[in-house]
Structure 1
Amino acid sequence: MSFLLSPRRGRSPLRAGVPALIAATLTLLAVTGCAGPAAAPGTAAEVKRECVASETPLTELAILDDPRAWVGPSTACLADADITAIDSPDEPQLPVTVVDDKGTEVTVTDASRILAVDVSGSLAATVFGLGLGDRVIGRDSSTGFAAAAGLPLVTTGGHQLSAEPILELAPTVILTDTTLGPPAVIAQLRDAGIPIVITTSKRNIDTIGTVIEQVAAALGVADAGTRLTEKVHAELAAVQADIESIAPADTADRPRMLFLYLRGSAGVYYLFGEESGADALITSIGGRDVAGEIGWQGMRPVTAEALVEAAPDLVLVMSKGLESVNGVDGLLDSIPALASTPAGQNRRFVDMSDSEILSFGPRTPQVLDALARAVYAPEQSGPIGE
């Protein structure tokens, strides 16, 4: 049986520069929960927060009259951080021959020991979503959901593959993309006789179905891939409709948002703009992508000029990133220009687990729901004490 994994040959538009930056800056840390500060309404007093999601439907929450005026940070929490597989998963029908995203023809004869790794954790989440999680034998540092957290880690330094630990796991098929390296390790593993399928490296809401279908084709469960894609798309449509119903009707009244990638210990402060995935995330939760409005492309070191021009009302960050700069106070000290923006003045930062916020996969509908709650109903995100 033969599947065409991707009709494209050569480089996709995003690969012209952004993916290399993804590999260098999107080193998502694997965590099983999130924790972050919050505030009482109208004040800057912060309390420690446990990541506990409300079971109340999004549209039934007490929504802020003006989400731009809230003072204080909040944390986005998934109701269930694990992956829910499709009903009645299929048994892989093998062998299959696919042409992967690099134009390489690959034949997969055995899917009993799967290694699915990329910088965002999307591939492993997809395999679990297809109901094949019991066949996964290792993980990358971005795969932090409970069902996979105990698997052996095969990436070092966040996004570097090492051949020795992978060979020890004896995978029968490897699914990856161009965000992990070095290429010499991929070549070494391929020389060892392991089928390696390279999927698209583009990660945004519009490519979730593409990734699912590529993974499913390579594992001999194409029909299951179609069912999972339909499930995720239906969930996305439902949650985006809910968000649209609670977000301000007038675009001018919607919160102006930015996504900052932070690694204080390394002195890394990046602003994510168009074609980074963060832009789609922001618009999907009813925000205005002000990085796009000022013409910010891809992922680049943040500048004071960009922050002042963008004037965000709210800034999205990863939980571990915020911790790495010692919280909101440390962030405002590290980037003084941020303190002069509406977000800085109101301490309006929304953090979410590093392994969830930009993962773009089967959990994306739940990620959008969680972020919307933190933006539009921050009081209901679960304070646990001083």
Structure 2
Amino acid sequence: MFERSRCWLGAVALALCAQVAAADAPRVVALGGDITETVYALDAQQSLVGVDSTSLWPAAARELPNVGYVRQLAAEGVLALRPNLILATHDAGPPPVMAQLREAGVRIELMPATRTPEGVVAKVREIGRALGREAAADAIAHRIETQYAELSKAVAGMKSHPRVLFLMATEGSPKAGGRETAAASAIVLAGGTQIADGFTGYKPVSAEALVALAPDVILLMRERADEVGGVSGVLQLPGVALTPAGKARRIVFVDGQALLGFGPRNAEHELELQRVFAGVQP
């Protein structure tokens, strides 16, 4: 009888331990494509229980429950996933929703805006710390730092820096990326000259203004290549064919999430873009 009681108590203790372990197991919601990328890069995707609608890479992330656009969240949808940790970009919101999530007892780690090599490395390390994956974060950080060092050396060796314009093709006039945008930072980091510096954010650009800007290279997001009809479609946009970029068909589609998200794939894509810029003859 004593032995049976002891076994029963042992089984109960194991069950309670299992329940505690399950309660403590990370249930992570990632808000932001760059955040989700980093979680996968750290091989911590088993902790993910949900992502936002900008989390499109890797493809496996699209199979996870989607809580909506990162800046237009609803607390109910996030809380339904029972997260105990939310990793989010600095602009996740709206603010009242983030406050609701905190009041519900969910730990929230906000990452600062990242548009520099140092910021990318710091973000990887911070997410690694939050997930208990410091060793993996160190390895990724080292790789990224090496790639950025290679990029810096390549940019320093460029004989000229082509005039570059980033376009967000939409219905009507396309929008150009101005100052204080991720596109502007990505262009400069890869050795290009950011020419849309008369305004901040993304603004519609007329055919006349586009011709006057005279870009040597026009960048667009690869994710929208089919939508705009590829290079041929871009050349049909008002003014594009009359620019140096249009005449030389230097219309380049880039991976928007990798390049503009400034996540763990940014450095390698900046290197690819630098090679494009280096090949432009003045």
Q: Do these two structures clear the TM 0.5 threshold for a shared fold by scoring above it? A: yes
Q: Any idea what the Cα deviations from partners look like across 1:314-353, whole Å, max 9, x if unmatched?
A: 111002334333334443444x233321112223211023
Q: Does 1:284 align with 2:189?
A: yes
Residue 243 of structure 1 and its aligned partner are, at CA, apart by 5.9
The residue matched to 1:360 in structure 2 has which SS?
A: coil
TM value normalised by structure 1: 0.58
**1:142 maps to what in 2?**
54
Which of 314, 317, 324 matches 2:220? 317
Q: Does 1:363 align with 2:265?
A: yes
Distance in 2, matches of 1:200 and 1:111, equals 26
**2:164 maps to what in 1?**
257
Q: Does 1:113 align with 2:27?
A: yes
Q: Is the 8 A contact 2:120 2:262 kept in 1?
A: yes
Distance in 1, matches of 2:208 and 2:125, equals 41
Match runs of 1:69-148 below 5 Å:
110=24, 112-118=26-32, 121-143=33-55, 144-148=57-61
Distance in 2, matches of 1:210 and 1:194, equals 23
Aligned length: 257
Q: Is the 8 A contact 1:258 1:312 kept in 2?
A: yes
Which of 151, 157, 161 matches 2:73? 161
The residue matched to 2:256 in structure 1 has which SS?
A: coil
Amino acid corresponding to residue 371 of structure 1 in structure 2: L
**1:272 maps to what in 2?**
177
Match runs of 1:112-261 below 5 Å:
112-118=26-32, 121-143=33-55, 144-156=57-69, 159-222=71-134, 224-242=136-154, 247=158, 249=159, 251=160, 254-261=161-168
Query: Relative to structure 1, is the Cα distance of residues 211 and 111 closer, same or farther in structure 2, using a 3 angstrom cutoff?
Result: farther
Distance in 2, matches of 1:187 and 1:146, equals 30
Q: Is the 8 A contact 2:71 2:94 kept in 1?
A: no
The residue matched to 2:218 in structure 1 has which SS?
A: strand
Q: Any idea what the Cα deviations from partners look like across 1:155-175, whole Å, max 9, x if unmatched?
A: 24x753233332232211001
Distance in 2, matches of 1:222 and 1:320, equals 32
Q: Is the 8 A contact 2:192 2:277 kept in 1?
A: no
**2:16 maps to what in 1?**
none
Q: Is the 8 A contact 1:275 1:298 kept in 2?
A: yes
Distance in 2, matches of 1:286 and 1:201, equals 21
Higher relative contact order, structure no. (Cα contacts within 8 Å, ≥ 6 residues apart)? 1
Larger Rg: 2
Residue 313 of structure 1 and its aligned partner are, at CA, apart by 0.9
Gaps of 5+ in 2: 1-22
Residue 360 of structure 1 and its aligned partner are, at CA, apart by 0.7
Q: Does 1:350 align with 2:252?
A: yes
**2:8 maps to what in 1?**
none
Amino acid corresponding to residue 307 of structure 1 in structure 2: L
Residue 240 of structure 1 and its aligned partner are, at CA, apart by 4.1
Q: Which moved more, 1:158-167 or 1:280-289?
A: 158-167
Amino acid corresponding to residue 68 of structure 2 in structure 1: T
Q: Any idea what the Cα deviations from partners look like across 1:294-317, whole Å, max 9, x if unmatched?
A: x44333333445423321011110
The residue matched to 1:291 in structure 2 has which SS?
A: coil
Q: Is the 8 A contact 2:34 2:257 kept in 1?
A: no
Q: Is the 8 A contact 1:205 1:277 kept in 2?
A: no
Gaps of 5+ in 1: 1-108, 379-386
TM value normalised by structure 2: 0.77
Residue 135 of structure 1 and its aligned partner are, at CA, apart by 1.3
Query: Relative to structure 1, is the Cα distance of residues 110 and 240 closer, same or farther in structure 2, using a 3 angstrom cutoff?
Result: farther
Alpha-carbon RMSD across the aligned residues, in angstroms, is: 3.0
